[in-house]
Amino acid sequence: MQEETLDSVEESIQENNVTEWQSDKIDKLATALSKAQGSLSAVKAEAINPFFNSKYADLNSILKVVRPVLSENGLALVQGNKYDITSSGFYVTTKLIHSSGQWIYSEIRLPVGKKDAHGVGAACTYGRRFSLSAMLGISVDVDDDGNTAVGAPPSQQVRR
Q: What is the pLDDT of residues 96-133, one digit of tens each?
A: 999 999 999 999 999 888 888 998 898 999 999 999 99
Q: Residue 15 half-sphere exposure, CB side, CA atoms within 13 Å?
A: 6
31-45, 47-61, 123-137: range with lowest mean pLDDT: 47-61
Give residue 74's pLDDT. Answer: 98
Residue 89's pLDDT band (boundaries 50, 70, 90)?
A: confident
Contacts of 59 (CB under 8 A, 6+ apart): 125, 128, 129, 132
User: Could you confirm whether domain 19-140 is CATH 3.30.390?
Assistant: yes
- For residue 115, give every residue at least 6 positions away whose Cβ sits within 8 Å of its Cβ, in sequence order, or none: none
Which region among 79-88, 130-139, 140-149 has the lowest average model confidence (pLDDT)? 140-149
* pTM score, whole prediction: 0.75
pLDDT for the residue numbered 37: 96
Is the pLDDT at 152 greater than 90? The verdict is no
